[in-house]
Chain A
Amino acid sequence: MTLPTFAPVAAAAQEQELSGSIRFSWYGGTVRNQKIDEMVALFEDRHPGATIEQEPMDWMAYWERLSVQAAGDNMPCLVGMLPFNLPDYASRNLLLDMQPLVDEGMIDLSEISDSLIEASRTRDGALLMLPYGAAPDTITYNATLVEEAGLEVPGDGYTWDDYFDWLASSQEHLPNGVWAADNPTNNPDLLLAYIGSHGYQAFDDEQLGFPRELLIAWFQEWADLAEMGAVIPPDMLSEEPGPHEMSYFAEGRALASNRPANAQPALHSGVAQSGSDARLETLLYPLGPEGVGDFVPVNSLSIAASCKNLPLAAAFADFFLNDPEAAAIFVSDNGAVTNAALLAEQIADPETPEGSRILLEVFEAVNERGSVPQIFPSGFQTRFTEVHRRMIMEVFFGSLTPEEAADAFFAEAEQ
């Protein structure tokens, strides 16, 4: 399907039916809110009878509010969703299975890769999320530091061992106050990839899907790196500010960091704000014994089961995912656009900013080499992401051995 014919057809089919209003809530800051405000204005221009009530909120507060809204039976029609958080809402039957809307042609997914759509389904096949912004994680490194220290970057097809060796051997070449690695638990993606590339799932239903030994090995690798001084000291990591712009990595104090590709624009602006002209480059994640293990989190849209205006919710979701003009406003602000035609367009566009371009190219490369879908249980963020974050600090501070940390991890994750 080519772009020029596709958008007008879809729009024409819906024009006369759309009326009323829906509430739309998403996570983001001022920059993203500005873009979505423009997109909504465009949509409302095209559909004079329809109103999209915007309810923006920053990441942490967003989930807080959504959980109360869900408990109070007052969810917005259209909500931002992420695979990590989906199970909390799916298990409570709060979200609509959108497959019928796709079957009726109200939402078009033909330009989105099958693997992304499959990863958006629950175990029983329901389609509860529409993926709009893919945010594969990467090893991002400071290329300027690499050059100054005379280091070599691991080549294609490098393994976890290669990666840990590289970090370890780089440290002695780095200037004082610069470390090879920063916090490996900024998100759960790095550990998920480690588990996936060893041929395991993070969760098998309610139990962890990998052996304890694997987790011990993981903690041991990091404990060793920390011990030789190749990781930013734990007291510094504890006080690292959340935003990518203010991270040690953006300040040039770490050689490499695992960062989601959608953080690239923020990282670039952080580097610029710290007065440096350092160049950032990315590596795809290392390979394990079972090859690729990446899990690709995709920022998605879900429709609440309680939504009263399905035609409008579906039409706006479709617009958000597929409309070329909307995409030109959003420019992959929250992960690479999943619509393949739009992706190609944004890569080709010379006006796409550098940070966004890296994101798009990473997504293309990850898409090419494949990823490992995961099925998460409800409570994943607290049972896995948060526990991981705490346990690695216990290991770094030396208050738990890798074995003890793994034991504690299993005890907390398997409730």
Chain B
Amino acid sequence: MSRQVQDADERRLARAETLIAAAFLGPWLLGLVVFTLGPILVSLLLAFTDYDLNGMPNWIGLDNFREMFFEDPRFWRSVRATAVYVGFSVPAILVFSLAVAIVLNRGSRMMPVYRVLIYMPSLMGSSVAVAILWRQVFGREGLLNAALAPLGLAGGSWIGSPSTAIYTLIALSVWAFGSTMVIFLAGLRQIPAEYYEAARIDGAGPVRQFFHITLPSLSPVMFFNAIMVTVHCFQAFTPSYVVSQGTGGPVDSTLLYALYLYDKAFRQLDMGYASAMAWLMLAVLAMLTGLFFATSRYWVHYGER
């Protein structure tokens, strides 16, 4: 009897909590239903059609995927370019931005100025001027070759050679590492100072403090950054769009997956194929994110525990 009352109470409480949660989630749910869910479902359906923005789509089953895997050499080139891009950019951005964030987290009068200056490249976005800037640095007559010339190492254009062009894009993504750094910085600032005080009293040095306080406390943010940087690099579009002037050249060496997808959707007007590519990307990313989440219990420590 009393247990039933207790259950009923809990249910009433849970129902109240659900209602409040619905209020908190309201704006997002509204946006999801009105603006997001429909287009997502449409794109999923289109992945199995030949929709070319002309009239009605025809159902063609798995043909788009078959074409991708077996008949489209450019698809595989875009996969390769993206793999190289992701493989180098993700670790480079994460390590670099964490290192700089830790340095910039120290107290010094110059730090606010340093932070602003280091963040500057991230403000450039995908402005058309970026293409010209990158040519100034990595072009045949750019800064890098000018610096290498005295060493006798200057070669051709870094942007214009198929073997090096993708690395100039990786450099571009690392150049704008500021966003990731800022998130790390915000995370570092969230670590209670008492933790460090307690550690110092226990006689822990900087290295032990880093591994026993900084890293665990930062792990939710690290988790977020790792996922977002990975997703962001997989979906990278603007670096290649801007630097190669939309072509993905030279000879498809910077044809990132998202650029090829865009090319299919908006230039070749093959929306069915583009949708298929998008959902394949989604599947890969969902698997990777799932992996991140599955392993998170071993290395991500939330304050809620």
Is the CB–CB distance between B250 and A238 below 8 Å?
yes
The interface-forming segment of B108-116, B220-228, B263-271, B281-289 is B263-271
Q: B54 touches which one: A92, A389, A394 (CB < 8 A)?
A: A92
A399 in contact (CB, < 8 A): yes
The reply to whether A91 and B157 form a contact with Cβ atoms under 8 Å apart is no
- Asked if A265 is at the interface (CB within 8 A of a chain B CB), the reply is no
State whether the Cβ of B131 lies closer than 8 Å to any Cβ in chain A. Answer: yes
- Residue contact A241 to B267, C-beta cutoff 8 Å: no
* B251 part of interface (Cβ distance < 8 Å): yes
| Segment from A218-226, A229-237, A295-303 that makes contact with B | A229-237
* A239 adjacent to B263 (CB under 8 Å): no
Q: CB within 8 Å of A: which of B141-164?
A: 156-157, 159-162
User: When chains A and B are docked, how far (Å) is the Cα of A369 from the Cα of B220?
Assistant: 72
B135 is contacted by which of A63, A71, A241, A381 (Cβ under 8 Å)?
A: A241
Determine how close the nearest CB of chain B comes to the CB of A18; give it in whole angstroms. 33
Which A49-108 residues have a C-beta within 8 angstroms of B?
Answer: 60, 63-64, 67-68, 70-71, 88, 91-92
**How many interface residues does A have (CB within 8 Å)?**
29
**B268: contacting residue among A91, A236, A382, CB under 8 A:** A382
**B165 part of interface (Cβ distance < 8 Å):** yes
Is B55's beta carbon under 8 Å from chain A? Answer: yes
B131 contacts which of A236, A237, A241, A381 (Cβ < 8 Å)? Answer: A241
Closest CB in chain B relative to A49 CB, distance in Å: 35
Kindly identify which residue among B54, B140, B267, B269 contacts A239, using a CB–CB cutoff of 8 Å: B140
Q: Let me know if A239 and B53 touch, CB within 8 A.
A: no
A residues in contact with B249, CB < 8 Å? 238, 389-390, 393
Closest B residue, CB atoms, query A400:
B251
Chain A neighbourhood of B139, CB < 8 A:
239
Q: A236-B160, A238-B165 are in contact. Are A67 and B246 (CB under 8 A)?
A: no
A6 within 8 A of B: no
Q: Are A394 and B267 in contact (CB under 8 A)?
A: no
Tell me if B63 is interfacial: C-beta within 8 Å of chain A: no
> Which chain A residues in 374-403 approach chain B with CB under 8 Å?
379, 381-382, 386, 389-390, 393-394, 397, 399
Residue ID in chain B nearest A60 by CB atoms:
B246
Whether B157 contacts A238 by the Cβ 8 Å rule is yes
Tell me which of A70, A381, A393 contacts B251 (CB under 8 A). A393
Min C-beta distance of B228 to chain A, whole Å: 26
- Contact check, B269 vs A88: say whether CB atoms are below 8 A apart: yes
Instruction: Indicate if the CB atoms of A67 and B161 lie closer than 8 Å.
Output: no
Contact with A along B202-222 (1 / 0, CB 8 A): 000000000000000000000
A234 touches B160 (CB 8 A): yes
Distance from B276 Cβ to chain A, minimum over Cβ atoms (Å): 16
Q: Taking the complex as formed, is A242 at the interface, i.e. its CB lies under 8 A from any CB of chain B?
A: yes
